[in-house]
Amino acid sequence: MKHLRWQIILASILIFLSIVLYFVHYTIFRDAHHIFLYLLGDIAFVPIEVLLVTVIIHQVLSAREKSARMEKLNMVIGAFFSEVGTKLLTYFSDWDPKLDNIRKELMVTSDWTQEEFLRMSKRLKKYDYGIDIQRVDLAGLRTFLGAKLDFLVRLLENPTLLEHESFTNLLWAVFHLAEELAARGSFTQLPQTDYQHLAGDIKRIYVLLVHQWLNYMEHLKDNFPYLFSLAMRTNPFDQEASPVLQ
């Protein structure tokens, strides 16, 4: 309310100054025709000025700012995969009983085009993700996530996450699973319903993580070939993946 009041006062002062200056001009030169001629010309240019300043220039600056923010966000996503994401995908893919149906299709190479990334994205939307909870090392997963909680908290504190809802949802899903696992003392005598609940929490992360990983791989291929090379050699879906160049 105070900000609006200040704007109204400023607008009133500027209009008053404009009237005073026009009055001074008329008092000196006694030429109302000249005043109204230029006044109408200035008013006629206002729509064009609005178009240039608020539409074209604003859009260009906004696009540049958004590009810079997205670049910072991709750095955050890269840090996430380096510390947490790639390892989680390695775990989850090992626990997915149906992954062999699409494993070969997830072998991203430097020859992939934008169309191939798009095709794979559509393919993953139709894939029936699954987690065999009996194969899951819940205690090991709890230990791994517990060691990464401070790192994940620092990621959530990054304001650039506001630009990326899907990645934020992924982080919250990881936090939720970490809390669920930490709340249980032992995993040896849980009822089947609880195992299925944990399997659902893991699957939620798995689905979000796979799509985020594919988008990140495309970003690396287009912008950072040297990082993309390492990401290919450590592909979490490749059971023979090795960072060592052969």
pLDDT the model gives residue 92: 93
- Please indicate, yes or no, whether residues 148 and 211 belong to a single structural domain of this protein: yes
Could you say which DSSP state residue 84 is in?
I
- Please indicate, yes or no, whether residues 29 and 77 belong to a single structural domain of this protein: no
C-alpha distances out from residue 142 to 59, 151, 174, 180, Å: 46, 15, 11, 9
Q: Which residue has the tokens 């008013």?
A: 43
- Please indicate, yes or no, whether residues 164 and 82 belong to a single structural domain of this protein: yes
- Please indicate, yes or no, whether residues 146 and 120 belong to a single structural domain of this protein: yes
Number of CB atoms found within 10 A of residue 4's CB = 8
CA 126 to chain centre: 22
Overall pTM > 0.85: no
- Please indicate, yes or no, whether residues 91 and 188 belong to a single structural domain of this protein: yes
Would residue 245 count as lying in a domain?
no
- Please indicate, yes or no, whether residues 112 and 222 belong to a single structural domain of this protein: yes
pLDDT the model gives residue 2: 60
> Domain range spanning residue 35?
2-61
Would residue 240 count as lying in a domain?
no
Residue 195, classified by CB atoms within 10 Å of its CB into exposed (0-12), middle (13-18) or buried (19+), is middle
Task: Give pLDDT tens digits along the chain (246 positions).
Answer: 666 777 788 778 878 887 887 777 778 777 777 667 676 767 776 777 766 667 666 666 666 666 666 677 888 888 899 999 999 999 999 999 988 888 889 999 889 999 999 999 999 999 999 999 989 999 999 999 999 989 988 888 877 776 678 888 999 999 999 999 999 888 888 899 999 999 999 999 999 999 999 999 999 998 888 999 999 989 998 878 777 776
User: CA 209, 169, 147, 190 torsion: positive or negative?
Assistant: negative
Number of domains in the chain: 2
- Please indicate, yes or no, whether residues 74 and 47 belong to a single structural domain of this protein: no
Cβ-contact 185, 140 below 8 angstroms = no
- Please indicate, yes or no, whether residues 73 and 154 belong to a single structural domain of this protein: yes
- Please indicate, yes or no, whether residues 28 and 112 belong to a single structural domain of this protein: no
Distance between terminal CA atoms of the chain? 67
pLDDT the model gives residue 22: 73
- Please indicate, yes or no, whether residues 111 and 185 belong to a single structural domain of this protein: yes
- Please indicate, yes or no, whether residues 6 and 121 belong to a single structural domain of this protein: no
C-alpha distances out from residue 74 to 1, 44, 80, 210, 240, Å: 38, 45, 10, 16, 27
pLDDT the model gives residue 62: 66
Would residue 74 count as lying in a domain?
yes
